[in-house]
Each structure stands twice: as C-alpha cells, then as structure tokens.
C-alpha cells in the first residue's frame, strides 16, 4: 500500500500566527508544509517571500514544499533555496530554460518539482521526468485558495502514474486545488500520493487539524 503524504497549504492558515500554525501542523501529522509563493504577475495574487520562509524555518524540521508561482523564476531560485525551502517547484512557463532551472535547484541540493496548470500538457515536462522529484498537478488555476476542483485533471494524474510505473521513475505525484473529503479518494486512486489542502485541513471538523489530516490519508 502506497504511503500517502499530506502537505497542508499555509495559504489557509492564520497569517498572524504562522509559527504556531506550522508547529500545530507538524504535531498533527503533516508530512510537509506547502508554501505558495505568488508574485501578482504570473498569478493574480501576492503572498510571502524568502524572509518569511526563513523566519518560519525555525518552527519545524519537516520539509518546506515551496511552490513558486513567479515569473521569471530562475533568478529567484537561489533566494528560496537559501531561505529554507526543501522542495522547490516551478512552472515550465516561468523560465526560459527549464533544464537550466532544474540544474539550478539541484545546485543547492534541493528537491525539484515541476508544476502543471490545468491546461498544461504532460508533454511539456515529459523529457525531464527522470531528473525530478515531484510533479505538482494543479486541479485549479493557481492564484487563490478555496477554488473548486477541476475533475478532468484526473486523467492527467492517471497518465502521469502510467508513465511513472512504466519507466520506474521515482517522482511523487502531488495534487493541489479544491481537495476535500468528497474528492480526495478518487485523486489518490488516480495515482497521486501527495495531497495539498488548505481550507479542508484548517476548517473542517471545527478546525480539528489532526483529524482532518488523518482522514485525508485514509484510502
């Protein structure tokens, strides 16, 4: 049975208590902390930068799963690597050379993630799948939390899983966007093994984070 990992999105956390929120997530069984970085340009929202990540790093030792929704992304990889990111995920549309950006992330001994928007085809990243650690399948268009899950991405997850198994690749398949108690099982059954969730983890069951994380690991 595959190990399910939960990466709660701090986009849904109380930003005035982020350190406490992260410690609570760790104590509640989170496997990673998902940090959404938005620049107001690549996506229509602004969030946190390297100084905040560096400040939060002291609250936990579990991996920071940092999703860079910024363009151009390449020149900022160093800053996020040095701020405490453990996994750096980028969008192929945000760099002039995906290979160079992959190499840059690896230079800092960080894990490499590539993200696919709902309308981005697997073929865009397929030749890099043997070099990376994670594929982040966006099941909403990035920019804001609380959006509804786009169901046709299930076919993309299934196809990625087929490619992974056929070639004995090692990358995680992570899914982010609209994950809730009604749809998470079909996402896992399609082949994902990492779930990103914000609203569901922080708000369901009267905010019982541990209960919500444990439920999302039940397939």
Give pLDDT tens digits for 123-162. Answer: 999 999 999 999 999 999 987 666 789 999 999 999 999 9
- Per-residue buried b or exposed e for 77-87, using 16+ beta carbons within 10 Å of the residue's own CB: beebbebbbbb
CA dist 176 and 212 (Å) reads: 16
pLDDT of 63 > 80? The answer is: yes
Measured distance CA(218)–CA(185) in Å, rounded: 8
pLDDT of 23 = 96
pLDDT value at residue 68: 97
Instruction: Determine the pLDDT at residue 42.
Output: 86
Name every residue whose Cβ is closer than 8 Å to that of residue 179 and which is 6 or more positions away in sequence: 139, 149, 187, 195, 196, 197, 200, 216
CATH no. of 5-216: 3.20.20.70
Q: pLDDT at position 145, please?
A: 67
Active-site position among 31, 39, 172, 176: 176
pLDDT for the residue numbered 40:
84
Tell me if residue 176 is catalytic: yes
pLDDT at 2: 77
Residue 65 appears among annotated catalytic residues? no
Whether the pLDDT of residue 218 is over 80: the answer is yes
Torsion of Cα atoms, 112 then 117 then 122 then 126, to 10°: -20
User: Can the peptide bond before residue 72 be classed as cis, meaning omega within 30 degrees of 0?
Assistant: yes
Tens of pLDDT, residues 11-58: 999 999 999 999 999 999 999 999 999 988 888 787 899 999 999 999
How much is the pTM? 0.96
Average pLDDT over residues 66-93: 97
Which pLDDT value is given to residue 73? 97
Q: What average pLDDT is seen over the chain?
A: 95
CA angle at residue 78 from 138 to 86, to 5 degrees?
A: 55
pLDDT of 219 higher than 80: no
**Block residue for tokens 């369901």:** 204
- Residue 136 dihedral angles phi and psi, to the nearest 5°: -100, 110
Q: Are 137 and 160 in contact (CB under 8 A)?
A: yes
DSSP string, 159-209: HHHHHHHHHT---EEEEESS--TTTHHHHHHHT--EEEESHHHHHHHHH-H
For 164-186, how does the pLDDT look when each residue is reduced to its tens digit (9 = 90+)? 999 999 999 999 999 999 999 99
Q: Which residue has the tokens 């990358």?
A: 171
Using CA atoms, how far residue 20 sits from 34, 62, 115, 193, 216, in Å, is 15, 14, 28, 27, 22
Q: Give the Cα separation of 67 and 36 in Å (integer).
A: 5
The Cα 176–Cα 166 span in angstroms is: 24
Choosing from 36, 39, 65, 172, which is the catalytic residue?
Answer: 36
The per-residue pLDDT for 1 is 61
């Amino acid at each position: 049975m595959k190990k399910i990992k939960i990466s709660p999105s701090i986009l849904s956390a109380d930003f005035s208590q982020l350190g406490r929120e992260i410690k609570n997530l760790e104590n509640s069984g989170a496997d990673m902390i998902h940090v959404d970085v938005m620049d107001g340009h690549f996506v229509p929202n602004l969030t946190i930068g390297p100084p905040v990540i560096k400040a939060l790093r002291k609250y936990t030792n579990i991996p920071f799963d940092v999703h860079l929704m910024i363009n151009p992304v390449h020149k900022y990889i160093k800053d996020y690597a040095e701020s405490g990111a453990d996994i750096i995920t980028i969008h192929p549309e945000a760099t002039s050379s995906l290979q160079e950006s992959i190499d840059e992330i690896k230079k800092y001994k960080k894990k490499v993630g590539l993200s696919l928007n709902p309308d981005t085809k697997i073929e865009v990243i397929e030749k890099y799948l043997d070099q990376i650690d994670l594929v982040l399948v966006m099941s909403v268009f990035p920019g804001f939390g609380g959006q509804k899950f786009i169901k046709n991405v299930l076919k993309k997850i299934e196809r990625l899983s087929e490619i992974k198994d056929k070639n004995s690749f090692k990358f995680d398949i992570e899914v982010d966007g609209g994950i809730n108690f009604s749809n998470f099982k079909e996402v896992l059954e399609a082949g994902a093994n990492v779930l990103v969730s914000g609203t569901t983890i922080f708000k369901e069951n009267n905010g019982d984070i541990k209960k919500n994380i444990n439920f999302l690991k039940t397939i």
